[in-house]
Chain A
Amino acid sequence: MSKSAIQIETRGLNVSFHNSPVLKDINIEIPAKQLTAIIGPSGCGKTTLLKSFNRLLEIQEDVKISGEIIVDGKDIMTSGLNVPDIRKKMGLISQKPYPLPMSIFENVAYGLRIHHGKNPKKVEEGVHHCLQEVGLWNEVKDRLHDPASRLSVGQQQRLCLARAIAVKPEVILCDEPTSALDPIAAQQIERLLLKLKKDFTVILVTHTLRQAKRVADYVIFLYFGMVVEHGLADQVFNDPKSPEMKAYLSGEIS
């Protein structure tokens, strides 16, 4: 990993909900401009780890977070930082797409306006560009002002992706983005993520091993809140070190 730059590094990260630990002593490095897959059995803390990167956990109650999360060389857990500025660097795509309660156009324009100015012409160009990036432009160009909720789930997921890149983040956090989609829509998203890793660091939580094998450059394997194995995809998949990883790969645990 010495070749590529590190986008996110955690040091001794611990997270607990209502005093029960969910993540224990996480020490990982996530390479920049690559696709990192976070895998592991259900309930092992994948979503929690993902949401700790953009400090999204703290909008919930009774969450305790300790340790360091270093992004661009700075610890984002330092108190007194402007949290929206941290979040703006990381787009989030969740399992179930949640478009904003606005039109298709406004969904993408939202992030542009709050971070990059309200000039109508610029906003319009930006919306066009982002929708084009996710391959949605041709499908929606005649109904930009329809409610976003009228799109299909797969389209909504791509809209969420467009909305996220409109903010111009460095990282795109994806939490099982394809699990609610049909195979074709899922494939579209997968291809998009592969395309986007040229410009963004992509972190993908997935529960399908096959998806991870298809797309991941780097893999983090979580097991009961601990990182049991992490490394280059080739190495983790073909030459696993830990018995848990071996068992997971062979389908004994899932």
Chain B
Amino acid sequence: MLASLAIVIGSLILIVSVIVLNGASSLSLEMLTQTSEGSFYLGSGGGFLNAIVGSLLLALPATAFAFIISVCIAMYLQKEFIPSRFSSFIRICLDIMWGIPSIVYGVFALTIMIALGLHGGSVLFGIFALTLLEIPIITRSVDESIKVVPHGLKESAYSLGSTRFETSLHVVRRQAMPGIVAGILLGFGRGIGDAASILLTVGDSNYFPTSVLDQTAALPTIILNLAGMPEKTVQNKAYAVAFVLLLIVLSISILTRYFTKKSSKYIIK
């Protein structure tokens, strides 16, 4: 038990400190406030604000779409709506989807892109790949939180003459809210940090995207590109980007805690 604790905490501390030490020292204000100039990967100046914005423009809409789709699926998976032999089958499918490597979603989105005759990547298909990536994550965690809503609570709602829809919307939703919030942020965290699914679909750019068909830079993909360069100064930029990504993910988990706590206020134990 102690050993597993040591491994978990130890590796967390190690990863975070490597990134913080290397990243914070090579991070500068200009990196955060400027877009990339010339060949950013070859050591030219400028920053990566365009990638921060790009990542948010990919992950936020993807999370929103995935959330809407996921909540519908998760509600529908409950036993009031479909028999449990169907829902367990769908759950297995979702678990398989969860396990699919994200590069596969990337390739899938790319295939569709090519079939439509589009080349070079776009925000739109990045969002598409990320949405697919996030759907199983959000669906399963929303599903789990709905599944544990006490039967007696649902009985109470139905006995008041609520329809299935009213019960789901007013009662089950409130009770499951902490899990729903956690699911959204889990999905978002996965989406903003994933490189493989957007590697092939968003391309690259030094500017802010102005339309959904524009290419864009994103944090995970520029980390990949920067870290692969031979010069030490460029590699250090990768740490700086990773540091920013880490901060974003960290603030997400703080937000999760805050909102989970806030939405737990009314739940029934």
Contacts and interface: CB of A to CB of B under 8 A. Distances in A.
Interface of A: 51, 54, 56, 59, 61, 84-85, 87-88, 90-92, 94, 96, 98-103, 110-111, 114-115, 147-149, 160, 163-164, 167, 173
A103 B158 CA distance: 19
A101 B267 contact: yes
A51 B150 CA distance: 17
A142 to B, nearest CB: 18
A101 B171 contact: yes
Contacts of A87: 158-161
Contact of B161 (A61, A111, A147): A111
Nearest to A95: B152
A126 B162 CA distance: 18
B170 A110 contact: yes
Contacts of B157: 100
B156 A98 contact: yes
B155 A94 contact: yes
A29 to B, nearest CB: 23
Contacts of B156: 92, 94, 98-100, 160
Contacts of A59: 79-80, 154-155, 158
Interface residues of B, number: 27
| Residue among B83, B160, B266, B268 having the largest count of chain A Cβ atoms under 10 Å | B160
Contacts of A90: 159
Contacts of A160: 156
A247 to B, nearest CB: 32
Shortest 3 CB-CB contacts between residues of A and residues of B:
A88-B161, A92-B159, A101-B174
Contacts, number: 83
A147 B265 contact: yes
Interface in B53-106: 79-80, 83-84
A85 to B, nearest CB: 7
B153 interface: yes
A102 B161 contact: no
A126 to B, nearest CB: 14
B175 interface: yes
B155 A92 contact: yes
Given A110-B160, A173-B159, 5 more contacts: A61-B84, A87-B159, A98-B150, A100-B156, A114-B166
B268 A98 contact: yes
Given A59-B155, A61-B79, A61-B84, A101 B175 contact: yes
B269 A149 contact: yes
Given A147-B266, A149-B269, A98 B153 contact: yes
Interface in B151-195: 152-163, 166, 170-171, 174-175
Contacts of A102: 174, 266
Contacts of B153: 98, 100-101
Nearest to A149: B268
A99 B160 CA distance: 12
A190 B159 CA distance: 21
23 contacts: A59-B79, A59-B155, A61-B79, A84-B158, A87-B158, A87-B159, A91-B159, A92-B156, A94-B156, A98-B150, A98-B152, A98-B153, A98-B268, A99-B156, A99-B268, A100-B156, A100-B170, A110-B160, A111-B160, A147-B266, A148-B268, A163-B160, A173-B159
Interface centre among B79, B152, B155 (most CB of A within 10 A): B155
Interface string B211-240: 000000000000000000000000000000
Contact of B83 (A61, A84, A92, A114): A61
A51 B80 CA distance: 16
Contacts of A56: 155, 158-159
Contacts of B160: 87-88, 91, 110-111, 114, 163-164, 167
A76 to B, nearest CB: 13
Nearest to B163: A84
